[in-house]
Amino acid sequence: MNFKKTAVILLLPLMLLCFSLKALCAQNNELFDEQLEASGANELFDVLTRDELELLEKLGLGEINFDSVFSPSLRSVTDLFMQIIRNEYKLPFEALGATAMCVVALAAVSQFVPDGIRTTKTLGLTAASITALSVVIPLSSCITRAVSAISLSSGFVTALIPVLAAIITAGGKPALALTYNSLSFAAAQVVSSLGNGVIRPVIQVVMSLSVISSVSQSADITKILEFAKKTAVFIMSLSATVFVTMLSLKGMLAASADTVAVRGIRFLIGNMIPVVGGAVSDAYQSIVGTLSLVKNTVGVFALAAVALINLPVITECVMWVLSLNMLALLGDIFSQSSLSSLFRAVSSAVVLLCVTVVLEMLVFLLSVGLVLVIGGSA
């Protein structure tokens, strides 16, 4: 009998603690849902297109909450990436097959054409025109998709900035929110202008010059195109590095200032409010912790969304580069040097396009990731 009483006495506090923890978890979940709804994060779905929404749904991110963000596994990510590859390889490899047949046919025809300067130029012009049409026309859709991906990423980040800045501010870090808001908004505007006003005409000019270079033996501009590509990549890489460095340094300083302010607020609450000051301070810290979880949940969703906006286009660009290099190798095998130069020049243009999309994606990913890391460690 005494043993039963002792067991009841020992188990009663444990049972009360379990019920209290359950009630506290339910209260925190309710607070989390309220703060997430008030942040306006669900409106981010309106910015995305149907393709991105389908990819997010397959990844398990059909809605923004902790369970959906935490649920994706390595297998689901790998399956999604393999699906993107299966969707994006068709057009480049179809163009590869069609253009390869043109190269082989032109190589066969050249063996039966009599020697002569006029005949050689005519055949070269015909070969360049046919192969350019068989490659550039289907490639134009890739350029359009890349520009659209850059614009969509910029629009999504522009919609994300006030949402994430409001959550960070409510979580007691207004200086960090102001830093993220100003720098990220400037980056989004620059990237949007870059995609709409610079990338498309530059790529079109590079491809046009590539066709001219392959047709005209007196206008070899391969080195000029290579220099332009290296210069553009260097400028974009330097700009991305400067942006990330500024965001890191200013973010750390802002987070340090916010940490001092939050500790000062907790100290004042705990010492100036009689009797319940400590409880109010703990409640304030609980709210700040919940807002930090909301911020991380929205941030991880944003990282996934930005990646899924750009990964299909990057995959298609990689497939195009692989196809064009294989065509250049085929041209070398059949002694079609002008066609090989054309394929390599167009491949360089696609590489420039791919690098632009990759750097744009990394800038947005790093901006969100740095804010999450700095805000969480402060």
Total-model pTM: 0.81
* Per-position pLDDT tens, the chain of length 378: 454 545 444 444 444 444 343 443 444 567 667 777 777 778 888 888 888 888 888 888 888 887 778 778 788 888 888 888 888 888 888 888 888 887 777 777 766 666 554 455 666 666 667 777 778 788 888 888 888 888 888 888 888 888 888 887 777 777 777 777 777 777 777 776 676 667 777 777 777 777 676 666 555 666 777 777 777 778 777 877 887 787 777 777 777 776 766 666 666 656 666 555 566 556 666 666 777 788 888 888 888 999 999 999 999 999 999 999 998 898 888 877 777 878 888 888 888 888 888 888 888 888 888 877 776 554
User: Contact at 8 Å (CB) between 252 and 179?
Assistant: no
pLDDT of res. 267: 60
| HEC-encoded secondary structure of the chain | CHHHHHHHHHHHHHHHHHHHHHHHHHHHHHHHHHHHHHHCHHHHHHCCCHHHHHHHHHHCCCCCCHHHHHCCCHHHHHHHHHHHHHHHCHHHHHHHHHHHHHHHHHHHHHCCCCCCHHHHHHHHHHHHHHHHHHHHHHHHHHHHHHHHHHHHHHHHHHHHHHHHHHHHHHCCCHHHHHHHHHHHHHHHHHHHHHHHHHHHHHHHHHHHHHHHHHHCCCCCCHHHHHHHHHHHHHHHHHHHHHHHHHHHHHHHHHHHHHHHHHHHHHHHHHHHCCCCHHHHHHHHHHHHHHHHHHHHHHHHHHHHHHHHHHHHHHHHHHHHHHHHHHHHHHHHHCCCHHHHHHHHHHHHHHHHHHHHHHHHHHHHHHHHHHHHHHHHHC
pLDDT of res. 316: 92
Between the CA of residue 346 and those of 140, 207, 245, what are the distances in Å?
Answer: 11, 6, 33
Amino acid identity of residue 83, one-letter, is Q
| Residues 155-174 as b or e (16 or more Cβ within 10 Å = b) | ebbbbbbebbbbbbbbbbbb
Burial of 41 (0-12, 13-18, 19+ CB in 10 A): buried
| Residues 2-27 as b or e (16 or more Cβ within 10 Å = b) | eeeeeeeeeeeeeeeeeeeeeeeeee
Residue 314: CB partners within 8 Å, gap ≥ 6? 354, 357, 358, 361
Residue 94 to residue 285: CA distance in whole angstroms: 59
Residue 168 to residue 299: CA distance in whole angstroms: 11
The token duo for 196 is 């709409």
pLDDT of res. 190: 73
Residue 16 to residue 13: CA distance in whole angstroms: 5
User: Contact at 8 Å (CB) between 307 and 81?
Assistant: no
Closest CA relative to residue 352, chosen from 199, 238, 242: 199
